[in-house]
Amino acid sequence: MLAAVILSGGASQRMGSPKALLPYQGRPFLEHLLDVTRHPKITARRVVLGVHAEPIAKAIHLSPGEVVINADWEKGQLSSIQAALKSLPPGLDGMLLCLIDHPLISGNLVGDLIAAFYSSNAPIVLPLFEGRRGHPVIFSAKLFPELRSAPLDIGARAVVWAHRAEISEFPTSEEGCVLNLNDPETFARVTRSAD
């Protein structure tokens, strides 16, 4: 079984408002990611919130058990991953890690990555779009200790680099896995092209 972890703890400074609440196809980014991470193999979900925890929690219906507050959000993305890991139940096979600024993924891609994770037995599975690695990424539970002890200034990349020879790349035609929507210009361009 897997946990789905959605990171939404940052300040969204370049965007100017919480990315979790930005509208895409009629609903907020976070609602879309919650929807596409519904899968029989996903038995736990965590949404990591930080500076904008209050407005996001008011706007999106989340059960108390799904919410993780990262008081150290200013320390970067890895601090949110580590906060999520502390909250996960034991006995998981791994974690599907989603970023709030990479919301344009489908449930089909999530399902394909999960199938690839279980068939490959690789410690890390990620999507590959036209030669570029994207998100979400599945980390095996075997790597949780390394994620807990990775240096904050390098982040989860340190774990990815340490296992680069063992990564399973899943080729996809979904460009959304590599689209980082972290500023108003990119958001406007992508949402215009999707209309």
Q: Residue 140: what pLDDT?
A: 98
CATH number for the domain spanning 130: value is 3.90.550.10
Q: Residue 12: what pLDDT?
A: 58
Task: Report the alpha-carbon distance of residue 83 to residue 8 in Å, rounded.
Answer: 12
Task: Report the alpha-carbon distance of residue 107 to residue 39 in Å, rounded.
Answer: 8
Q: How many domains does the chain have?
A: 1
For residue 136, whether the previous peptide bond is cis, meaning omega lies within 30 degrees of 0, is: yes
Residue 75 is which amino acid? K
CB 152 within 8 Å of CB 168 = no
Q: Residue 192: what pLDDT?
A: 63
pTM, entire model: 0.91
CB 149 within 8 Å of CB 75 = no
Q: Residue 70: what pLDDT?
A: 92
CB 34 within 8 Å of CB 124 = no
Task: Report the alpha-carbon distance of residue 125 to residue 139 in Å, rounded.
Answer: 7
Q: Residue 181: what pLDDT?
A: 74
Which helix H or strand E contains 8, and what residues bound it? strand 2-8
Give the phi and the psi of residue 80 in degrees, each rounded to 5. -70, -40
The pLDDT tens digits of the residues spanning 87-128 come to 999 999 999 999 998 888 999 999 999 999 999 999 999 999
**Which residue, among 193, 167, 192, 8, has the nearest Cα to 97 in the 3D structure?**
8
Q: How far is CA 48 from CA 81, 99, 170, 178, in A?
A: 8, 10, 26, 21
Task: Report the alpha-carbon distance of residue 136 to residue 109 in Å, rounded.
Answer: 9
Q: Residue 68: what pLDDT?
A: 94
Domain that holds residue 10: 2-194
- Below-70 pLDDT ranges, the chain: 11-17, 182-184, 187, 190-195
At 116, list the tokens: 């690839």
**CB under 8 Å to 98, separation ≥6 — which residues?**
4, 5, 6, 7, 33, 37, 105, 135, 136
